[in-house]
Amino acid sequence: MSSEKVSCLIIGSGPAGYTAAIYASRAGLSPVLYTGGQPGGQLTITTEVENYPGYPEGVQGPQMMIDFENQARRFGADIRYGLATKVDFSNPTLHKVWIDDTTLIESPAVIIATGASAKWLGLESEQRLNGYGVSACAVCDGFFFRNQEVAIVGGGDTACEEASYLAKLCKKVYMIVRRDELRASQVMQNRVKSTPNIEILWNSETEEVLGDQGVTGVRLKNIQTEESYTIDVTGFFVAIGHQPNTEIFKEYIDMDNAGYIQTIKGSAKTNVEGVFACGDAQDNIYRQAITAAGSGCMAALDAERYLTEKGIH
């Protein structure tokens, strides 16, 4: 087991982590960033990104994350490949993080930017067409399906919100619901049911997403009659929730019931001194690249102030 002490450790490499690395580097904190199991985060499985400022012609998600990484490296961030597998935050002045169970990193300031992962149905066709008509974010990708017919899976508030958003852009939105009722709040149910171009397909589950180079339809099964049927759509959205990648922190960090890290209002500070959180690991509402980047900036600034107050920087 090798060990190392660093002044600022960043765990995660999406927009939040890389932005934190840019600000921390420019502040002279000499940050070390470990990319995690999915370097670049969820944007690496996204194709076109058109809603991030500074890219007037749009940009491919993986290329955007390469740009973020290169900018962080330009200012001296030490970016390494590796996954945080265990932490010990019991010492308030020196936090311990194990990488791949082989390397111990000790640091007075730790920035958590581990993100969240979309929950999927687990279909081969869903994963094969991910980024080619299949998406887990209507706000991110709905624009590409303007005036087209799409389907969305889910029956909770998130699914209703995203269906309502898509209905403003798309000709038709099929809402695939496994039960004979929605789990969403009553106000969201009323909104969906009163939207003329949203059709709810009750008691239905997805058997396969159809298409080769892009989505052309969805094969569904009515779980009451066991009959299969097909709808023609060009977009397939999955809205059955997200899982924050925060499991290893739960012994020390305050979280909500879903596992999202709770930060002190108006800051990136957690309940543990010297530990900060940003991006989708602590955001269960917006989950956008731009908001993640903004919170990464906050985390780095909070970390810099903390280290200065402690006389470490």
Q: Which residues are catalytic?
A: 137, 140-141
What's at 3, amino acid-wise? Answer: S
HEC sequence for 28-95:
CCCCEEECCCCCCHHHHHCCEECCCCCCCCCEEHHHHHHHHHHHHHHCCCEEECCCEEEEECCCCCCE
Q: What's the token pair of residue 97?
A: 């993080």
Longest CA pairwise span in the chain (Å): 69
* Nearest in space to 203 (alpha carbons), one of 168, 229, 236: 229
No. of H helices and E strands in the chain?
A: 7, 21
| Rg over CA atoms, the chain | 21
Which positions ≥6 away from 108 have C-beta within 8 Å?
7, 93, 94, 95, 274, 307, 310, 312
